[in-house]
Structure 1
Amino acid sequence: MEFGFIIAGLAVGFIVGMTGVGGGSLMTPILLFFGIHPATAVGTDLLYASITKAGGVLVHHKHRNIDWKITGWLAIGSVPAALVTVAALHQMRAETETINLVIKHSLGIALMLTAVAIVFKQHLLRFAQRHVGVSSDLHGGLQRRWSTIATGAILGVIVTLSSIGAGAIGTIALFLLFPLLPTARLVGTEIAHAVPLTLVAGLGHAGLGNMDWGLLANLLVGSLPGIYLGSQLTGRMPDHILRPVLAGMLVVVGGKLVF
């Protein structure tokens, strides 16, 4: 069983490094398949994602694939939202599993819709450019900044409850908010933002007792080299190949979460 967790960590780490999506979306269903209790799977996966993606940040920063300004705006919204959600979970322990179940099913549908949106990225770009406006300033004005902060707050709640969504929902949100952002830079930015978010949420779940430290160690043995290898491919993989990879992965995971 331990060897199985190491292989799972390796596979998920590789996908996260290459696409910026898949940490919670893949790992939480895998842990449930192995028979891990849902609350423990969510808590363990959050800290796993934080540590794993921290390794990916180093590689993406080296390749200049992170927009730290956008990362900061997202974190301004997501980290306080995660703290508030953790506090709420402490007050309603008995209902946590029900909330997780509802979030997982809802997010499964969202993942499949996101996959469709990624496939039609060029149409979305044209739509975003008409309504957001194309200028020499990639980051846009004050309205786009507040929209990014609000997006971060929504992600903070969803990720804390389910461990899923930092990459998938955040990716499509960035597609729409920043249509001029290259895919490789978008991936790196999402990974960088997920680190503080999942760390805060994971420590909150650890305080609730939703943590298996031995399981976490096994996952990290595989995931740290996996995300390093995957991150090496992000900038080299053509956009027309990367988008179908993202979409195909989200369809599979979304279907598993719903059905």
Structure 2
Amino acid sequence: MGDLLTIDAMNLLFVSFGVGIVVGLTGMGGGALMTPALIFLGIPPAAAVSNDLVAAAANKTVGAITHARSGSPNLKLAAWLVAGSVPTAFAGAFIIKAVGGTEEQTQFVKTAIGCALMLTAATYTLRMYLQLRSVTRGGSISEKDPPVRPIPTLLIGLVGGLLVGITSVGSGSLIMVSLLLLYPTLQAVKLVGTDLVQAVPLVLSAAISHVIVHGVDPEVVIPLIIGGSPGTYLGARIANWVSQAVVRRGIVIVLSLTSLAMLDVDPTIVGIVGAAMLILGPVAWGLVRRQHGLPAFDHVPSDGNGYPTNHTDSSSESSRR
């Protein structure tokens, strides 16, 4: 227990609690935030991936059991995803090991995480746009599950599993957006349930291979689990009090800047990009909203997602919890 009361452990608890709040607020996967945070705390990249995957396996199992009991996941769709993701996720740790020595592995993992975070930021932005378009078009979601498309679904699993196995990023962000694009008529609650159910064997496979190759540090994993769970609960509880549109745009900025840092971009350039995104981002999003018949900024009562209350966002995060 003494190891859990050190300053380093308290830092891990604080960070995991904060990441958990963001996960609860937005529904996004925690790996995109937690793994870079662990690296910035001084944990080697390969070890950061390993420990985050082990903690994520524990946390995702709880969510998956909840959704499975409610009958929300599309199990056939999840099975095709698992068939593709589990083998490639298991290969991730061995791919890192094959790169070379410790220095080469560190640079490889940092570069892979940087690319994965940039891709996550782009897909998260696309997800926001798709939700906005769905709201303004008044699209309805069918009560029936759409027919499963085996080959594209298998490919999503293959690519998603590989990214998770190498970087721990993607199980709750990239795969979710891919499913949203491939199955636009799938109900929001079933989309989340399916993603959670398939994420359990995916993350478990990646975690097991990383434990075999790199091992796991209890002094890191335990604080991640202890801090992440209550943070996620708190984030879900306060989600209706916080403007989701603002939070999501902030997440895109954080992911983008973190990816540049992982890619060793000059700090001055990172600062310039951050300032540009902070100033020009809301303007660009306001123009997009106006093109879809919404006010550029929220001057009218909203539903918490940045949309007028007379619209129904059938795919909003609030309906996904």
TM-score (ref. length: structure 2): 0.67
SS at match of 1:189: helix
Q: Quote how far apart the aligned CAs of 1:89 are.
A: 3.6
The answer to whether the Cα contact below 8 Å between 1:56 and 1:231 also exists between their aligned partners in 2 is no
Partner of 2:198: 193
Partner of 2:23: 16
Gaps of 5+ in 1: 127-133
Partner of 2:154: 149
The answer to whether the Cα contact below 8 Å between 1:17 and 1:230 also exists between their aligned partners in 2 is yes
The answer to whether the Cα contact below 8 Å between 1:78 and 1:152 also exists between their aligned partners in 2 is yes
Partner of 2:88: 81
SS at match of 2:214: coil
Partner of 1:116: 125
* Larger RCO, structures 1/2 (Cα 8 Å, 6+ apart): 1
The answer to whether the Cα contact below 8 Å between 1:112 and 1:255 also exists between their aligned partners in 2 is no
The answer to whether the Cα contact below 8 Å between 1:25 and 1:164 also exists between their aligned partners in 2 is yes
Correspondence for 1:161 among 157, 166, 185: 166
* 2:173 aligned with 1:173: no
Correspondence for 2:65 among 50, 55, 58: 58
CA 1:100–1:89: 2 relative to 1, 3 Å: closer
Q: Which amino acid aligns with 1:105?
A: G
Residue deviations 1:20-55 (CA, integer Å, cap 9, x gap): 423210101111121111111111011111111112
Q: Quote how far apart the aligned CAs of 1:15 are.
A: 3.3
CA 1:220–1:165: 2 relative to 1, 3 Å: same
Q: Which amino acid aligns with 2:258?
A: K
CA 1:33–1:228: 2 relative to 1, 3 Å: same
Map 1:93-112 onto structure 2 (within 5 A): 93-94=100-101, 95-112=104-121
Residue deviations 1:193-248 (CA, integer Å, cap 9, x gap): 222111111121111225212110111112233334556788xx6xxx65764454
TM-score (ref. length: structure 1): 0.81
Number of residues of Structure 1 aligned to a counterpart in Structure 2: 248
Distance 2:71 2:247 in 1: 22
**Larger of the two Rg values belongs to structure:** 2
Distance 2:231 2:175 in 1: 22
Distance 2:106 2:158 in 1: 22
Q: Which amino acid aligns with 2:112?
A: I
Q: Quote how far apart the aligned CAs of 1:125 are.
A: 5.8
Map 1:33-48 onto structure 2 (within 5 A): 33-48=40-55
CA 1:47–1:63: 2 relative to 1, 3 Å: same
**Aligned-residue identity in percent:** 30
Distance 2:196 2:252 in 1: 17
Residue deviations 1:131-158 (CA, integer Å, cap 9, x gap): xxx98753325xx222111101101111
Residue deviations 1:156-212 (CA, integer Å, cap 9, x gap): 111111111111211210110110123343233222222211111112111122521
